[in-house]
Structure 1
Amino acid sequence: MRPVFIGSEIYRGSSYGGAHPLHIPRVSTVMDLVRALGWLAPGQYRNSPRAKPAALTGFHTSDYIAALQRAEAAQAVDAVAFDRHALGTTANPVFPEMFRRPATGAGGVMLAAELVAEGGVVHVPGGGTHHAMADRANGFCYLNDPVLCLLALRRLGLSRIAYVDIDAHHADGVQAALGADDDMLLISVHEQNRWPYTGALDDTGGGRAVNLPVPRGFNDTEMTYVLHRLIQPLLEQFDPQAVVLQSGSDAILEDPLSRLALSNNAHAQVALALRDMSPRLIVLGGGGYNPWSVARCWTRVWGALNGHDLTGSLPEQAQALLRPLTWNRRGPAWQVQPHWTTTLNDPARDGPVGADLKHRVDVLRNRARLARAAHLAPDPARA
């Protein structure tokens, strides 16, 4: 069965506001690029439904969902919505689609869970909002669609579900919700000393969560090392029935909200490796605040999942979609690079594997080995 792409027109023109990092187009550009490249065969595209409030209360509180709906309708928040639910903040502002847009992302990931019930691959670039908490918005995220996706997979009767997150920022909302659950394996690879300042090496989330904070300058070679030495062995041991990959593109070199140095080759590599380790794979979007790198990354991932490769110049129709993009730059003073508008594949960003990173991976491998041994050991109480 061919992979399925879930998108929606709600992302076209929707913005958190001109001063916000999410003022840029993202999912709509990915949709346009995959069409321009001819990478959507008949039946591969599905329109994302909007999740109903009752479905969202599978994780979020009913009070929070009601407050989010009221804020969208009124285009304003009251003191309770601001103080209790963190709506109307600088990070999570009031904007016209502040309920409908995240509810569409949530509907998309829950549809993805249904579509992989019998196996398969689904890409939902509008998903990946991994910071939201049950009763409040957090870190540009109003709803936690990864949690809703994982819970939907659980409702299918799956008992071993893995969540792998390679966003530059720790998956704090997912860990808070499901980190202690025995049927979930959560792995987060994120920049150390970066907001939300959670996900330390020794943080297990009260269960089997695995957190690998990585240093600034984390490169493609190091991601390959982490994939082969940590992520794949953990998944082999866990033997997941489904994998959800949060493929935030803010770990790419040119992103203004991190200091990591990956290329989009790393994201494609991880997606392909995880596809081969489970009968069910759902790939989400996530962070990404450079409009060229995020659109090219998620398009590259979709192409890789379909066996497409585009190592040369993009066709003119695709280049014409990338040239008009603009952004309000924050962080490094990046100038628009020629390859951002002419190619899909980034140049490789290889480099040495740091000794500290190797040590951290070894610590996590040893912890997993000890946990496995303790799990297999006979219970003296039953002797």
Structure 2
Amino acid sequence: MGKTYFIGSNIYRGSRYGRLHPLSIERVPAVIDLGRALGWLPESQYRTSPRAKPAALTAFHTPDYVDALMRAEARQSVPPEERQTYGLGTLSNPVFPEMYRRPATAAGGGLLAAELVAQGGVVHNPGGGTHHGFPGRAAGFCYLNEPVLTIRRLLAMGLTRILYVDIDAHHGDGVEAAFAGSEMVRMISLHEENRWPFTGKLEEDGQGAALNLPLPRGAHDGDFEHALEELILPLADVFRPEAIFLQCGADAVLEDPLSRLAMSNNAHFRAAAALRPLSPRLIVSGGGGYNPWTVARLWTGIWATLSNREIPDHLPAEARAVLEALSWSRTGKPSEALLSTMRDVPRHGPASQEVRERVAALRRRI
């Protein structure tokens, strides 16, 4: 496998969806700062994300929607009729200063990732993973659909078998809709059942292209490990992907405020490690994640996993200082573990009967 790269940008630093929005927190900048404090982000592996040009965005999004998004940023307002049509200026997808440039940079990072893995390799683009965007409409904090744009770039490069694995707590509805019926893109999503956007039910199969595993509230590392070993890895073995895209949303961990799953970040590290050798190309994005400390620790730990760096039992003072500098409107001081360690205490247990039965049902459709 080729080289390993991290994609970041200063566009994320200080960028806020709004003071009370779940994305009022620092995420990608915290990962960059934590990685640098640990000496894990040398210039040889760091790449600055370009901003995708409007023409590149129309590989999935409609030109009128891209124009509306650019106008909204320029004007810092959205007329009522455009709010209704495009989903802009809503509580979920509000007007904010970088509302076009930030998602366009995340998309540019995905397009760069595709180019970097053209001959093989691994890329971590934590600003990406915006899997709810639709061709002509923003949804679920996602103004542009970076995974779809990235996968389409891989297809345009001549790849014919791409596996999309989504372990965000929320179902990747925009990606499933984009590749419904595809024979070249297979999708598998693990997400909390009965959670917005209320899609991705067990029986929904994206016209034959998708496997959806809704996880019950409280699902833990043992449930995830069972799904990984009995469903995700067997699918990869059968499909033999030329590239894997792992959407590594950080909101399935116990401390996240927008889900009721109970995993530790070890589940995510395990997924990245297990998928890496199964394809010559691996792109790992971010996604959801709304607790600043768990997100920073999880995505930095993903980078450590991908770049073969050892996660220390206790963080050195420089790294701890990065975590101590984070703030969150929802709570006061975080636990000592969230400040002094990167790896969570595992949340093991036997897989529930419910998860076992659902995995068995999906296994028959591989």
**Matching residue of 1:231:** 232
**Matching residue of 2:284:** 283
* C-alpha distance after superposition, 1:118-143 (max 9, x if no partner): 00000000000000100000000000
Contact 2:3-2:120 within 8 A present in 1 as well? no
Whole-Å separation in 1 of the counterparts to 2:117 and 2:246: 14
Deviates more, 1:75-84 or 1:21-30: 75-84
> Which amino acid counterpart does residue 348 of structure 2 have in structure 1?
D
> Which amino acid counterpart does residue 123 of structure 1 have in structure 2?
H
**Matching residue of 2:63:** 62
* Cα 1:334/1:230, change in 2 over 3 Å: farther
Whole-Å separation in 1 of the counterparts to 2:231 and 2:332: 33
**Matching residue of 2:363:** 365
Contact 1:14-1:97 within 8 A present in 2 as well? yes
> Which amino acid counterpart does residue 153 of structure 2 have in structure 1?
A
> Which amino acid counterpart does residue 24 of structure 2 have in structure 1?
H
* C-alpha distance after superposition, 1:85-129 (max 9, x if no partner): 010000000000000000000000000001100000000000000
> Which amino acid counterpart does residue 307 of structure 1 have in structure 2?
N
Whole-Å separation in 2 of the counterparts to 1:161 and 1:334: 43
Whole-Å separation in 1 of the counterparts to 2:355 and 2:13: 39
- Structure 1 runs not aligned, ≥5 long: 369-383
SS in structure 1 opposite 2:283?
strand
Whole-Å separation in 1 of the counterparts to 2:350 and 2:238: 28
**How far did 1:222 drift?**
1.3
Whole-Å separation in 2 of the counterparts to 1:311 and 1:321: 16
Whole-Å separation in 2 of the counterparts to 1:187 and 1:367: 12
* C-alpha distance after superposition, 1:303-333 (max 9, x if no partner): 011111223211101101111212122xxx7
**Matching residue of 1:138:** 139
**Matching residue of 2:126:** 125
**Matching residue of 1:343:** 341
**How far did 1:335 drift?**
6.1
SS in structure 2 opposite 1:367?
coil
Whole-Å separation in 2 of the counterparts to 1:179 and 1:276: 27
Whole-Å separation in 1 of the counterparts to 2:248 and 2:140: 16
User: What is the TM-score normalised by the length of structure 2?
Assistant: 0.98
> Which amino acid counterpart does residue 212 of structure 1 have in structure 2?
L
SS in structure 2 opposite 1:123?
strand
Alignment of 1:152-191 (within 5 A): 152-191=153-192
Q: Among 347, 354, 357, which residue is 1:356 paired with?
A: 354
> Which amino acid counterpart does residue 66 of structure 1 have in structure 2?
D
Instruction: Give the structure, 1 or 2, with the largest relative contact order (CA under 8 Å, sep 6 or more).
Output: 2
Whole-Å separation in 1 of the counterparts to 2:308 and 2:51: 30
**Matching residue of 2:94:** 93
**How far did 1:43 drift?**
1.4
SS in structure 2 opposite 1:272?
helix
**Matching residue of 1:218:** 219
> Which amino acid counterpart does residue 158 of structure 1 have in structure 2?
L
* C-alpha distance after superposition, 1:213-259 (max 9, x if no partner): 00111111111111000000011000000000000000011000000
Contact 1:165-1:247 within 8 A present in 2 as well? yes
SS in structure 1 opposite 2:86?
coil
Whole-Å separation in 1 of the counterparts to 2:38 and 2:334: 22
Q: Give percent identity, aligned residues only.
A: 57
**Matching residue of 2:314:** 313
Contact 2:179-2:209 within 8 A present in 1 as well? no
Whole-Å separation in 2 of the counterparts to 1:171 and 1:38: 33
Alignment of 1:14-53 (within 5 A): 14-53=15-54
**Matching residue of 1:271:** 272
Contact 1:179-1:186 within 8 A present in 2 as well? no
* C-alpha distance after superposition, 1:270-303 (max 9, x if no partner): 0011111000000000000000000000000000
**How far did 1:334 drift?**
8.5
- Structure 2 runs not aligned, ≥5 long: none
User: What is the TM-score normalised by the length of structure 1?
Assistant: 0.94
Whole-Å separation in 1 of the counterparts to 2:277 and 2:311: 21
Structure with higher Rg: it is 1
SS in structure 1 opposite 2:189?
strand
Whole-Å separation in 1 of the counterparts to 2:260 and 2:146: 26
Alignment of 1:248-263 (within 5 A): 248-263=249-264
> Which amino acid counterpart does residue 335 of structure 2 have in structure 1?
Q
Whole-Å separation in 2 of the counterparts to 1:180 and 1:328: 42
**How far did 1:75 drift?**
0.2
Whole-Å separation in 1 of the counterparts to 2:272 and 2:100: 29
SS in structure 2 opposite 1:283?
strand
